[in-house]
Structure 1
């Protein structure tokens, strides 16, 4: 398809693909096993607070402290992956040897042997310990996996091809990890549901491990931790992008965490089937909408413009949740949100790869681990923000999981939680992205310069 916009035009050099379609699919398929546990943990508040009766203020405080801990370990893990030297490479060992422990910890996270009524301190302790251990292990695996993307797939064509596959796989994983847990928990129990998901995720991850490879990496001019940290924090494009993505994860995280409460207390519908239906509608729609976003919108608007439009549509799509009273009305709203969600997820990894390419020109190194680690450091703060908003809303509305009948204000409280915070986050992200510099002619210049640099290196 021909387009006159320069934002999405690929460079004229470095066009030879280095990977096969099979390698791209196997790499993308691993995203299925990484996404399911990460998204299922969105139901931890529902599991620990509504199911096990943990004090909601305690839970919100624990998740805030955890988010700060996780923010600190992300850049450290990314830095270590950049400097790791093994016979398997820098990134691959984190995936190969870290995935199984991470999935076991995920199963244990939903296997709490205590309850908040009789053993609140023990339950709180178990929650914090398991959450910290799981997140540390899963961060190492996820950082290693994502850091391989700009290394394995070097051309713009390869990256967009694998990004499309990753997004398609991710949509299915989102459907499983966000839409099915309430339904399966009602049928099998939360614990069995988690262990089933852990087994499915293990199959998906290890089916793709054999396709991973790394390129020789120069050991020249390796940066120390604080020097690398400073270099990353002075990269304007990176700071703008991750700030916007933090607002994205705040918006989507609020929706995921609050949907079960919204269905039960705002719509007055018991059981997990309705929550599953609403979330499934969103993700099925997102999957169907990937093609028009990729084919008609992204080539014309480029990565930045695509993300800005998607955030704007996200804000508009969520307004009806404050007004609808029926499951049908909520379903129509989540379908609209799904159409916007497709645009949000389409360009995320491609845009981050552009930032890493720009840094390679600046620093002379491929520091993908540090960048994905720092991205995790900043975006993880969205979890703390979500937890604090959840705690404030539940306190203000009088929600108490131990009450058989909740105060009338609870219904409006969760309507507020599902609309005002995510809409605000989406609009802020849209405004922040207006300052993102890697677009249009400047982005093409970066791609061309890097292609020429790699061509010269290949000739030596």
Structure 2
């Protein structure tokens, strides 16, 4: 067996997650920016976001497949990170700097969104797929992966705090464009900090599968299908909550300005960061990946019930619900990549190949569809409630419409995820047997080179 990675390598890899998380999460405010600030028609915005969710879903597996087959002086995954991060962050900043508005130039505004978003999605997918595909390759044992997952998700929680809690507040101080530039600079610093610590191990001797064969092999893997279904429901639940918070605060709670929105989201993600250690130390070792995720999903749905039933009508009550949701979120973010790494390990045991790129790419394809679902629910709720950003006074149904949007879809997604995970096969004795067999195979193959220890 090869030596384990150093603590420095684990931290540098993990800190890069901060640079990926900020723009991905701040993108949740594009609806608020383009619809409520720039006055783009809500139906146009929902349609555009749906199209891009589908586009991003399609390019995820393609980029993952290409990375599995890439041969370069930097390796298979690293070139996508090394050469993709700068254009991705430039496009992210430009998304919040449109010179058009939906009253005077609605077509120009929509065109700007479409073009810049397409570029951002393409480069961002390349960076994210390359980065995540390195996790199971760089860190081979369960102990290493849980140690890295704790660091990654501690950093990710900070990124969530920045990316989801601060944009409304920063937009009030710096403008939306200033917020985008500041976040791009912070992300660039985190990515550059970790870039030199990335390394790859020698690939398998077998010829890689063709694209069609790789797709068939991936979609015939039951454990993978269950994981991505649950993860899609997770992103749907958190996506609707994050997207709806600004609208909920303004129209349901009657609070103007971004400070309340920032405070509520910050409370959720600070709580998630603080709760990571108890989940990792007390619950994850006893429950395993599947049990940990099931408990986390169940608790997240329960946390939002008071909001959904209109038992909470004040900012203080909303704060309590978001804190409870943050405690549950910690379990979801802790286990997301670890459970997928187990799926990839089982595939290696079955096929003799390492196909991290394809698995993370296909995971991205399916989970990205949560964005399309979120957009369609948003469009349906705004139409049904009568919301119109051009009106100075909104209809009475808008307040309840945004309460529904921010609570019922996340609760439904959480409950469905618990049900889906009941069918996940890699748990208990089967998971232990798989890990032992893979460790024995790697032991028999001898040490591998190419690492930075």
* Common fold by TM > 0.5: yes
Match of 1:401 in 2: 389
Match of 2:292 in 1: 306
Aligned length: 446
Match of 1:315 in 2: 301
Q: What displacement does 1:459 show?
A: 6.5
Normalising by structure 1, report the TM-score: 0.96
Q: Distance in 2 between matches of 1:209 and 1:383?
A: 29
* 1:164-218 superposed Cα distances (whole Å, 9 cap, x missing partner): 1001101111000000000000111000100010011001001111100001112
Match of 1:118 in 2: 104
Q: Secondary structure of the equivalent of 1:423?
A: helix
Map of 1:274-423 to 2, 5 A cutoff? 274-322=260-308, 323=310, 324-423=312-411
Q: Distance in 2 between matches of 1:333 and 1:459?
A: 50
Q: Secondary structure of the equivalent of 1:148?
A: helix
Q: What displacement does 1:395 show?
A: 0.1
Match of 1:3 in 2: none
Q: Distance in 2 between matches of 1:302 and 1:215?
A: 27
> Given that residues 96 and 206 in structure 1 are in contact (C-alpha distance below 8 angstroms), is that contact kept between their aligned partners in structure 2?
no
Q: Distance in 2 between matches of 1:292 and 1:332?
A: 19
Structural RMSD (CA): 1.0
Residues 1:198 and 2:170 aligned together: no
- In structure 2, the gaps of 5 or more residues are 449-453
> Given that residues 17 and 155 in structure 1 are in contact (C-alpha distance below 8 angstroms), is that contact kept between their aligned partners in structure 2?
no
* 1:108-130 superposed Cα distances (whole Å, 9 cap, x missing partner): 11111100011011101111111
Q: Distance in 2 between matches of 1:25 and 1:304?
A: 26
Runs of at least 4 residues off by over 2 Å = none
> Given that residues 204 and 352 in structure 2 are in contact (C-alpha distance below 8 angstroms), is that contact kept between their aligned partners in structure 1?
no
* 1:132-166 superposed Cα distances (whole Å, 9 cap, x missing partner): 11011100000000000001001111111111100
Match of 1:107 in 2: 93
- In structure 1, the gaps of 5 or more residues are 1-13
Residues 1:453 and 2:441 aligned together: yes
Compared CA separation, residues 191 and 458, structure 1 to 2 (3 A): same
Match of 1:253 in 2: 239
Q: Secondary structure of the equivalent of 1:75?
A: helix
Q: Distance in 1 between matches of 2:205 and 2:53?
A: 33
Q: Distance in 2 between matches of 1:429 and 1:156?
A: 24
> Given that residues 98 and 138 in structure 1 are in contact (C-alpha distance below 8 angstroms), is that contact kept between their aligned partners in structure 2?
yes
Normalising by structure 2, report the TM-score: 0.97
Match of 1:230 in 2: 216
Residues 1:440 and 2:440 aligned together: no
Q: Distance in 2 between matches of 1:154 and 1:294?
A: 18
**Out of 128, 131, 146, which is 2:114 matched to?**
128
Q: Secondary structure of the equivalent of 2:196?
A: helix
Match of 1:179 in 2: 165
Q: Which stretch shows the higher mean deviation, 213-222 or 94-103?
A: 213-222
Q: What displacement does 1:69 show?
A: 1.1
Match of 1:21 in 2: 7
